[in-house]
Amino acid sequence: MYVQMISGLLLLSATISMAATPKSLEGSRPNIILVVTDDNSFDTVGRYGGGAVSPNLDKLYDEGLRLNRFHVSPTCSPSRTAMFTGRHEFYAGVTHTIFGRDRLNPECRTIPEVLRDAGYRTGMFGKWHLGNEKKYRPYQRGFDEAWQHGGGGIGQSYANCSDFPANTYHNPMLLHNEEIVQEEGYCTDIFFDKAMQWIKNVKGRKPFFAYITTNTSHGPHIPPLGYDKRFPGADAYTLMQANIDDNMGRLVAFLEKQNLRENTLLIFHTDNGRGGQEVHGIKLKAGKGRAREGGVWVPCIVSWPGTLGNNEDRGQLCGHIDWYMTFSDLAGAKEKAPGTKAWDGRSLLPLFYNTAPADWDNRLFLAHRARWKNGKREAAKYEECSIQNGSYKLFNNEILFDMQSDRGENTDIAAQHPEVVSNLRKQFDAFWADSVPYMINDVNPLENGLLEDEEFHKLYKVKFGEKAYQERLAMMKGWGKGGQTDADFEAWKSAQKN
């Protein structure tokens, strides 16, 4: 039903207002803003039918170009790696979100490096999660300006992937380039504020690339103050979603005020899927950490007024892995594609102008949960994995779905199409054999160590001293590895009223 609807929209879509071709966009050098939120999905944008109250994202949806088969990786670090390098995350050594297996190989070229070398100013604001040690940080990987928390989330203390001690969503401590800064306010508001201030400072001299990457709505679900009064009865996750929408509205208004809207490519999508998603009536299976559609199919809205189509849909298979070559082409970087396999990224400019060749969907998209126990890679080869082209998807090397008529993955048709199963199996095996030698973090994974030896903990101790550090550790008592507990947040919130 959904595919038929999209096909109809494609046939009826309005002619693009500007007489242009993908070729004419090459080297057009727009400003680029990429907004990637964390652990949410279609339920972030009301127009997809999940019930979200999202007037600003709904407006972006209504007026933008929607990539309706946009795919990402099943979890945080892998998704960001594939996005930044234009290849599946395994080729950059990333096979987990902790144990040092989240560190993006420094030998891999990244989007900000490509754009910086092409004359762009580059800034990132929020969640990095591609390595805590200095050589892996964003300030060393192509960004002129970087505001980040540590690890995979504010206040986390996972093995070899921790944030500053006792860090919180409200008034967080951040690393500004290589300097620790104590901020005031709610994390998402701060990241958007920093991005807008930076854009205001650098606009006009060179084109810019701003990567705004929130840690919300990742757990713990700590909402901004005051939102419970605006949305009585809503749960914390919903309040965090509303705050994301507010900030998207603020960003668009800012761009308009700065006369930047029409020469800025604005993109919104999420880093991985989430459970319980529904897309225009299709109920998706599974969520984050899974290779089913609920884990890897996410919303993606592209907006560039006056250049890209208004209120249009594209139904071709694409994903985060395609931004590398897309941005390179827009910047006129003449960048060599990092990979030429059927599963590697490509430029989306033909999709932007609806001139994609008929064989576009012969490409492959691969998803693998990875996260195998250290030393257990081969045993996990077919665990929670999938490979799909425009027509079919093979899940866990045995279950086949029709991706044209069954996006909800309800009916296994493997028995009816043995030749398709055989071909996709061969392709997956070829990918696995090709990518294993690049999994460098698996060779010497980091084991659980002392919290005080974590990179962001060491940074804190150097700046504030041992006494202050021990006080912060005491504040974390009872938190767990995921960060601040609900009880601790409620106690802090009550203290703000007194």
pLDDT at 8: 40
Helices (H), 48-202: 55-63, 76-85, 111-117, 187-202
pLDDT at 209: 98
pLDDT at 21: 65
Tokens standing for residue 53? 């109250």
pLDDT at 20: 53
CA distance 234 to 231: 6
pLDDT at 160: 87
Tokens standing for residue 448? 């659980």
Are 30-361 and 365-442 equal in CATH topology? no
User: What are the domain boundaries of the chain?
Assistant: 30-361, 365-442
Rg of the chain's alpha carbons, rounded to an integer?
22
* 38 neighbors 270 (Cβ within 8 angstroms): yes
Q: What is the CATH number of domain 365-442?
A: 3.30.1120
Q: Give the pLDDT confidence of 328-361 residue by residue, as tens digits.
A: 999 999 999 999 999 999 999 999 989 999 999 9
Give φ, ψ of 181 to 5 degrees: -130, 135
CA distance 159 to 425: 34
Q: Is 418 helix (H, G, I), strand (E, B) or coil?
A: helix
pLDDT at 7: 42
Q: Which fold has domain 30-361?
A: Alkaline Phosphatase, subunit A (3.40.720)
Residue with tokens 């205001």: 200
Please list, in sequence order, all residues whose beta carbon lies within 8 angstroms of the beta carbon of residue 36, skipping any fewer than 6 positions away. 80, 83, 211, 212, 213, 214, 269, 270, 271
Q: Give the pLDDT confidence of 170-188 residue by residue, as tens digits.
A: 999 999 999 999 999 999 9
Its pTM stands at 0.95
Tokens standing for residue 335? 């960048």
User: Running along the chain, 498 residues long, what does each successive block of 10 average in pLDDT?
Assistant: 42 39 87 98 96 96 98 98 98 96 97 98 98 97 98 93 97 97 98 98 95 97 97 97 98 98 98 97 97 98 95 97 98 95 97 94 98 95 98 98 98 98 98 98 85 95 97 94 94 86
